[in-house]
Amino acid sequence: MTRVVLLFGGRSSEHSISCATAAGVLGAIDRDRYEVIPVGITRDGAFVLEADDPDRFRLRSELPEVVDNGTRVHWPESAASRELHVTDAEGRRSSLGDVDVVFPILHGRFGEDGTVQGLLELVGLPYVGDGVLASAVGMDKHFTKTVLAQAGVPVAPWRTVLPGEWERDADAVLGSVGHLGWPLFVKPARAGSSVGVSRVTDRDSLARAIEIAFAEDGKVLVEQAIGGREVECGVLSGRAGGPPRVSVAGEIVTAPGAFYDFDAKYLDPDAAQVVCPTELPPGRLEEMQLIAATVFDAIGASGLARVDFFLTDDGFVVNEINTMPGFTPISMFPKCWIASGVDYPELIDELIALGLETVR
């Protein structure tokens, strides 16, 4: 039986969403094939041994979180071993046995950005998902756009704001984005789930939005708003070095003038509609799938990703690539694969298989 460490929680502002994703995986993973060791990361960064209880982490009105229970999980001391240990709340140390693969379902910084991937590579543990470089590039919207633009992929025009220039001359920064037009979106460069994202229509609200984004990250993007349908697709690595596999398209449908913020994604079921599969004009799905595969390869991705687009009158514009997309059973990434003929437990199987075969 394959022994899988399910790693979730973390220090980012997306801690609770990671916990909700863990609930989905814990509830669906095939227990005849896998033995699961749930390891939570507290908001302070402690690795704790968690209960194997999906109900504990389901998304409700009170957001789930990993609470420090006094245990501490210890990673292997070198790449010569795959044995994990745990110290219980009374200080007694014991073995958790060898593990075959780690499934990190962490969203945001300190997990989705290559940091945990680097830790796992240092101790020689196979893991599910993207490697250090792809995770880091995919997490940082400035570098994602830079890489994709170099690869010839259309992206929204943007201006990156650093804290030093904002502190020195905020007026100059505000004046430097005029060529982007209105409205604008202001985003932390390295956050997800729409945390810290604002839609602004004038200079006064722009300054406030930049401050909100800086509260989440030390780098901020001011981005031209793109009008069009918000469509997405899932990508999986090909087996044995084959080309990426791309799902059918899904679509986010919001009320006129609204955008898909944190509340719309997770807290307000009436704020937006997730449609999958969605209908596209003839030839557009194949075009979208080709661009998604190009984006996946451009950042050196492996395992999985979700690529988000705007479909405009002039064609597709890539919004971002998410290297650890939402993975609850009702999230867009699983929905797109379910609509493509791969059910949720099969998708978990495939990701674990890819993690075991990927050479880092």
For residue 327, is pLDDT > 70? Answer: yes
Give pLDDT tens digits for 134-182.
999 999 999 999 999 999 999 999 999 999 999 999 999 999 998 999 9
Question: Over the stretch 350-360, which tens digit does the pLDDT of each residue have?
Answer: 999 999 999 88
pLDDT score for 263: 52
Residue 81 is predicted with a pLDDT of 96
Q: Please determine, for residue 92, whether its predicted confidence score (pLDDT) is greater than 70.
A: yes
- Binned at pLDDT 50, 70 and 90, residue 195 comes out as confident
Report the top-level CATH class of 2-127: alpha beta
Out of 30-34, 155-159, 266-270, which region has the weakest mean confidence (pLDDT)? 266-270
| pLDDT bracket for residue 223 (50, 70, 90) | very high
Name the 3-class secondary structure at 210: helix
**Residue 331 in this model has a pLDDT that exceeds 80:** yes
pLDDT value of residue 82: 97
- Reference 247, options 259, 233, 237; nearest CA is 233
Q: Residue 291 in contact with residue 316, Cβ under 8 Å?
A: yes
Residue-wise pLDDT for 234-255, tens only, equals 999 999 889 999 999 999 987 6
- Domains of the chain: which residue ranges? 2-127, 137-155+227-357, 158-224
What is the CATH code for 137-155+227-357? 3.30.470.20
Cβ(254)–Cβ(264) below 8 Å: yes
Maximum Cα–Cα distance for the chain, whole Å? 64
- Bridge partner residues of 338 (DSSP): none
Among all chains, which residue has been given the structure tokens 């229970």?
69
Q: Is the pLDDT of residue 24 over 60?
A: yes
The 10s digit of each residue's pLDDT in 48-57 is 999 999 999 9
Residue-averaged pLDDT of the chain: 93
The model's pTM: 0.91
pLDDT tens digits, 282-317: 999 999 999 999 999 999 999 999 999 999 999 999
In this prediction, residue 328 carries a pLDDT of: 85
Burial per residue of 210-221, b for 16 or more beta-carbon CB atoms within 10 angstroms, e otherwise? bebbbebbebbb
Looking at the structure, give the CATH architecture of the domain made up of residues 158-224: 2-Layer Sandwich (3.30)
pLDDT of residue 259: 54
